[in-house]
Amino acid sequence: MAVSWTPHRFSGGALVLDVTNTVVLRGDPRSFDRFDDSAELARFAEAASVHRAAELGGRRLAVADALAAAPKVLAIRETADSLFRDAASDGSLDTDRLAPLLSACAIGLDGDGGRVGHPARAFGDPAAPIALETAVAVSALSLLSPEKRGRIRICANCRWLFLDESRNRSRVWCDMAVCGNRRKAQRHYRRRQSAKEHDHA
Ligand SMILES: [Zn+2]
């Protein structure tokens, strides 16, 4: 079934974290991968071009050949998840996790032939689209700065990774409207249950 790439699926705050979050319930037996069908890469790229337009400086993402792009994107996704999930505890980087991410990013950047990292347009000239794997690599590398990586969090409800850009760095949920409310509803339900048990005691 085709994935509906809703705004909630872009709660990561950075393209690379939205990509890591395409594995749902990572580490759980109910886990599933929204990129199982490589055709989803192009649909993700189209939605991310809109929802991540600010980060991308308006440059659109392109997937010319999904079968060729998939292994590159998935390699960055898995190594980025490993590194940044670990870094979320105190912002430091495990070199055994950093090296594989850098290798995966090198492959994502290879052959691009463009320029990135300009202060005003980090992802390059928006006149032409950028390959998804190249953009994901640029996004991952941008999170290595101490300022950014110190803001990486794990959602207390769904375990997605997200960038906490709040001033006091106090965000707990990837998306308050979804995960925050789900947790509130659970707490409310448990309170009612324990009140009921009390009544019957
Ligand atoms: Zn969440």
Q: Give, for all 201 residues of the chain, the pLDDT tens digit.
A: 799 999 999 999 999 999 999 999 998 999 999 999 999 999 999 999 999 999 999 999 999 999 999 999 999 999 999 999 999 999 999 999 999 999 999 999 999 999 999 988 999 999 999 999 999 999 999 999 999 999 999 999 999 999 999 999 999 999 999 998 877 777 777 777 776 665 554
Q: How far is the CA of 66 from the centre of ligand 1 (A)?
A: 28
Q: How far is the CA of 74 from the centre of ligand 1 (A)?
A: 21
Q: How far is the CA of 180 from the centre of ligand 1 (A)?
A: 8
Q: How far is the CA of 157 from the centre of ligand 1 (A)?
A: 5
For 19, counting Cβ atoms within 10 Å of its Cβ (0-12 exposed, 13-18 middle, 19+ buried), the class is: buried
- The pLDDT of residue 184 is 74
- The pLDDT of residue 154 is 97
Q: What angle do CA 175, 178, 184 make, to 5 degrees?
A: 105
- The pLDDT of residue 180 is 87
Q: How far is the CA of 114 from the centre of ligand 1 (A)?
A: 35
- The pLDDT of residue 197 is 62
Residue 179 DSSP one-character state: I
DSSP H or E stretch at residue 56: helix 53-56
Q: How far is the CA of 61 from the centre of ligand 1 (A)?
A: 25
- The pLDDT of residue 181 is 84
Q: Contacts from 175-180 at CB under 8 Å and sequence distance 24+?
A: 175/8, 175/11, 177/8, 178/8, 178/11, 179/155
- What is the model's pTM? 0.91
- The pLDDT of residue 183 is 73
Q: How far is the CA of 178 from the centre of ligand 1 (A)?
A: 7
Q: How far is the CA of 91 from the centre of ligand 1 (A)?
A: 20
Query: CA-CA distance, 48 to 56, in Å (whole number)?
Result: 9
For 174, the token pair is 């990837």
Contact by Cβ (8 Å): 118, 86: no
- The pLDDT of residue 18 is 98
Contact by Cβ (8 Å): 10, 48: yes
- The pLDDT of residue 198 is 59
Q: How far is the CA of 136 from the centre of ligand 1 (A)?
A: 21
Q: How far is the CA of 25 from the centre of ligand 1 (A)?
A: 10
Q: How far is the CA of 111 from the centre of ligand 1 (A)?
A: 35
